[in-house]
Amino acid sequence: MKLSNKDKDNRNNQLSGIKEIARRANVSIATVDRVIHNRTGIAKKTKEKILDIIKELNYQPNIHARRLALAKQFRIATLIPQRSKETSYWEGPLKGIDTASAEISQYGVVLEKFFYDQDSISSFQQQSQLVLKSKPDGILLAPSFIEESVSFVQKCQKQNIPYVLMDSDLPVEGSLAYIGPQLNASGNLSAHLISYLIGKNDSILIVNISKELDGQHHLLKKEEGFRNYFRTHRWDNKILKININKTDPKSIEKGLSTVFKENQGIKVVFVTNSRVSNVAAFVKDLDRKVILVGYDFVNENIEYIEKGVIDFLICQKPLEQAYKGVMTLYQHLAASAPVEKVTFMPIDIITRENYKFYNY
């Protein structure tokens, strides 16, 4: 088969890159090729040296050419929460998944999407079983329930299925990569921000909203980071907390009404997830100004940002998390390319003044 000029250029560029890596590592081109394609028989120190040079040069193997050589169809499964009535947060990751799918489907990659109810452990268990039954070559997982998620990824490991975690990490080794927020740092930043806005006699209210709070470890990690800031910096403001296990508006309003009646000194409310709009609906009718901080760039939250009810939103690019998660699996499966083990997303602070310019 005669190569086109474009194919010749791609081949020459690939060869030049491999030659430079081989020159710097003082090894043969064949050795570099074995490392790139994750083949055995290379000494650990040599492999590490080559991988460091690859990272330094930002060398990207020609995945398309590799796919053609393999002539193999890959199947990637994604398992994320479905959109709920209370929050549209998961629309962002779904857009990221669809964007990545559109890019790689032309190379024979089949992507199958699975969704679970983020307030139901049984829903997660059911969908995770369906994912394994589908026998994918790789999995992108957004875990919400720590115990059940750990059990699921351990099954993935037994079946030698590589998986990437997004949005929330798990306390178990074995993932191909984690792409998402540093949750403690996120909570820590929120506390630092709030520290400029309160007096010594002001109280702070932490609000966790979830039907399955015991399993929603990502909320608790944010809370831990938040509390650690005030503990480390020796602030003695009173920090209150309410866990709301019923997520409908009336239940949220009822819970907040009780805590506000019993604590007149509340100046700041910190909501640990994207359901901050439900709290905003209550706060807007108070007879005094309360500083409201929450998470995520979703339509229902932007409405209250515009009105000045929500003061700050902490955002960490959910669309990009999901897109990078799928592409990481593709690079690993199609080219055996080295991937970043951990990618922490930037922590963005959104206000009424800058929300129109934010691209999540």
State the pairing for strand pair 291-295/138-141.
Answer: unpaired
Structure confidence at residue 214 (pLDDT): 64
What average pLDDT is seen over the chain?
88
Is there a single domain that holds both residue 121 and residue 241? Answer: no
Is there a single domain that holds both residue 176 and residue 270? Answer: no
Residues 6+ apart with CB under 8 A from 24: 53
Is there a single domain that holds both residue 136 and residue 52? Answer: no
Q: What is the CATH number of the domain that holds 46?
A: 1.10.260.40
Is there a single domain that holds both residue 297 and residue 219? Answer: yes
* Of residues 262, 260, 308, 319, the one with CA closest to residue 286: 260
Within a domain: 90: yes
* Of residues 249, 318, 317, the one with CA closest to residue 284: 249
Is there a single domain that holds both residue 48 and residue 148? Answer: no
Within a domain: 196: yes
Distance in angstroms between the alpha carbons of the first and the last residue of the chain: 44
For residues 41, 44, 50, 54, the Cα torsion angle rounded to the nearest 10 degrees is: 100
Within a domain: 351: no
Structure tokens at 66: 């590799």
Is there a single domain that holds both residue 137 and residue 255? Answer: no
Residues 6+ apart with CB under 8 A from 145: 121, 124, 212, 215, 216
For 206, the enclosing helix (H) or strand (E) is strand 203-209
Contact 223, 261 (CB under 8 A): no
9 pLDDT more than 50: no
For 101, the enclosing helix (H) or strand (E) is helix 91-104
Is there a single domain that holds both residue 158 and residue 241? Answer: no
Is there a single domain that holds both residue 134 and residue 204? Answer: no
For 254, the enclosing helix (H) or strand (E) is helix 249-262
Alpha-carbon separation of residue 34 from 10, 48, 162, 207 (angstroms): 19, 13, 20, 52
4 pLDDT more than 70: no
Q: What is the CATH number of the domain that holds 146?
A: 3.40.50.2300
Within a domain: 162: yes
Within a domain: 355: no
pLDDT tens track for 19-47:
788 888 888 777 887 787 777 778 888 98
Is there a single domain that holds both residue 272 and residue 197? Answer: yes
Is there a single domain that holds both residue 167 and residue 211? Answer: no
Domain that holds residue 41: 5-59
pLDDT tens track for 85-107:
767 899 999 999 999 998 888 77
Is there a single domain that holds both residue 87 and residue 173? Answer: yes
Is there a single domain that holds both residue 200 and residue 244? Answer: yes
Provide the CA 243 distance to its chain's centre, in angstroms.
23
Contact 27, 46 (CB under 8 A): yes
Within a domain: 36: yes
When divided into structural domains, the chain yields a total of: 3
267 in helix, strand or coil?
strand
Share of the chain above pLDDT 70, in %: 90
Which carries the bigger pLDDT value, residue 56 or residue 60?
A: 56
Within a domain: 289: yes
pTM: 0.77
For 212, the enclosing helix (H) or strand (E) is none
DSSP state of 221: H
Residues 6+ apart with CB under 8 A from 327: 100, 103, 104
pLDDT tens track for 221-244:
999 999 999 999 988 899 999 999
Within a domain: 258: yes
